[in-house]
Amino acid sequence: MSTTNRPTASGPSTKKPKQLSKKQLEEELQKARDQMAALMATNEELQHVVAAAEERDSATVEIIPKPHKASGSNAPAYTQLDIVNHIIRLNGGDPDVVADARKGNAVYQRAADNIHTMIHGFEIDPKTTYVAIRDSETIKTMLKTLNSQVPLFKQFEDDWAGRALIRQCLKSRRGWIHRKPKLLAEGRIRKVRARGPLKLRKLSEVAETDAEV
């Protein structure tokens, strides 16, 4: 009785990988070293390119140095108007041109509004002075946020304009808290409900709103 050879299912290949000679291993190792050297050279070249680009950017961006009070003078080193004029120039405008001045004032006002919003958001005590918290993480966070929201403020050395604005906003808030009871008592302002939570508005603003309605 004859038997027929039938194909049988074969399992996984048990063929061993080809063994490389010592010379071949050394050649493969040298190839890997050459590739690594090429990558390192490329990386170093890219780092030089990035550094050069950053240097060019730094050279083209104007940085406004912090002014200092003159020796023996009681006059402030700078005023709010000085900051606004710097903003106008950084924005490519001329302080003597009305349209440019309006744009600069709008940028400054937007920055001030953002600072007031952050003061409320951080729930800073109304009696707090800038000096008391100038080195705090809160001030650092406010400056970082301001520079992100209004990038022109990044061009002031050591954030001196942003710090001046925070100091002014805190001072204005303390002054308002101090004046509010007297103004209410004299009837110069009153509480009105307008589109949301209770807030204080000047009587002149209320009259203008009523007239528009």
Summarised one tens digit per residue, pLDDT across range 31-41 is 888 888 888 87
Rounded to an integer, what distance in angstroms lies between the CA atom of residue 42 and that of residue 174? 58
pLDDT value of residue 75: 79
Bigger pLDDT: 193 vs 19: 19
Rounded to an integer, what distance in angstroms lies between the CA atom of residue 146 and that of residue 25? 59
pLDDT value of residue 97: 94
Q: What kind and span of H or E run contains 31?
A: helix 22-60
Rounded to an integer, what distance in angstroms lies between the CA atom of residue 111 and that of residue 174? 19
pLDDT value of residue 73: 77
What does the longest C-alpha to C-alpha distance in the chain come to? 126
Rounded to an integer, what distance in angstroms lies between the CA atom of residue 168 and that of residue 129? 10
- b/e sequence 165-189, b meaning 16+ C-beta within 10 Å: bbbebbeebeeeeeeeeeeeeeeeb
pLDDT value of residue 58: 57
How far is CA 179 from each of CA 83, 124, 152, 189, rounded to the nearest angstrom?
A: 27, 19, 33, 11
pLDDT value of residue 211: 42
Total-model pTM: 0.59
Interval 145-204: pLDDT, tens: 999 999 999 999 999 999 999 999 999 988 877 777 776 777 776 654 433 333 433 444
Residue ranges with strand state E in the chain: 189-193, 198-202
**Cα angle at 175 between 148 and 209, to 5 degrees?**
80
Question: Which single residue is written with the structure tokens 């009305």?
Answer: 98
| Overall average pLDDT of the 80-107 stretch | 94
Tell me the average pLDDT of the chain: 79
